């Protein structure tokens, strides 16, 4: 209960904090490298591999590095929590004309049918009963708030493949995408 109250308080204060903090230019590739390195041991304990694919070119964006690190750390910990042993988490970046697209994919169960329009809502959580009380359901809501404060967009989708019939396959994992303006 204490953890939930702390999370609620932090979420409520976030808007004011985001307005008061000073943006700076930083390399989002290095931020993602740091996140991958930080969570690689945690993933390895569950026999999960983190793969990092970054362009050779430095990717400079303007923003609140600490806050965006929290977003990517949240996505990484979510991916680790949903992957089974032998799973893979892929973190990659694609440069577009005026945006940087950062993606975290996992080989977990993906998002349940009908949940994609709810996962960014406060207090929404679709975890097994065994995880009850461990997650407040605020992580993706806060992540969305931070990304949007940076002029970006965050969305989620299931990973599927096209079958020879043209239909999509079963869910192969989850993909979270963040598009941020770049300098």
Tens digits of residue pLDDT in 79-93: 999 999 999 999 999
- Provide the pairing of β-strand 173-181 with 24-27: unpaired
CA distance 10 to 142: 9
What's the count of helices (H) and strands (E) in the chain, helices before strands?
A: 4, 7
Query: Do the Cβ atoms of 59 and 182 come closer than 8 Å?
Result: yes
CATH code of the domain occupying 2-181: 3.30.565.10
pTM of the model: 0.83
Query: Do the Cβ atoms of 103 and 175 come closer than 8 Å?
Result: yes
Taking the CA of residue 17 as centre, how many other CA atoms within 13 Å lie in the half-sphere pointing to its CB?
12
What are the residue ranges spanned by the domains of the chain? Answer: 2-181
Weakest mean pLDDT among 33-47, 64-78, 131-145, 155-169: 131-145
Query: Do the Cβ atoms of 108 and 173 come closer than 8 Å?
Result: yes
Question: What pLDDT score does 169 carry?
Answer: 74
pLDDT tens column, 5-34: 454 455 455 555 556 578 899 999 999 999
Nearest C-alpha neighbor of 94 from the set 132, 119, 59, 141: 59
């Amino acid at each position: 209960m204490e953890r939930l109250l702390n999370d609620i308080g932090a979420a409520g204060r976030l808007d004011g904090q985001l307005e008061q903090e000073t943006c700076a230019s930083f390399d989002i590739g290095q931020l993602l490298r740091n996140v991958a390195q930080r969570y690689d041991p945690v993933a390895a304990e569950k026999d999960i591999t983190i793969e990092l694919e970054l362009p050779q070119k430095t990717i400079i964006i303007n923003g609140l590095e600490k806050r965006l690190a929290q977003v990517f750390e949240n996505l990484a910990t979510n991916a680790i929590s949903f992957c089974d042993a032998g799973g893979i988490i892929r973190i990659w970046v694609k440069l577009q004309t005026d945006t940087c697209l950062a993606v975290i994919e996992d080989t977990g169960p993906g998002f349940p049918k009908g949940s994609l329009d709810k996962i960014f809502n406060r207090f929404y959580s679709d975890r097994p009963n065994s995880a009850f009380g461990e997650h407040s359901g605020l992580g993706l809501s806060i992540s969305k708030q931070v990304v949007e404060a940076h002029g970006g967009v965050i969305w989620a989708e299931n990973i599927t493949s096209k079958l020879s019939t043209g239909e999509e396959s079963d869910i192969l994992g989850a993909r979270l995408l963040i598009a941020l303006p770049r300098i």
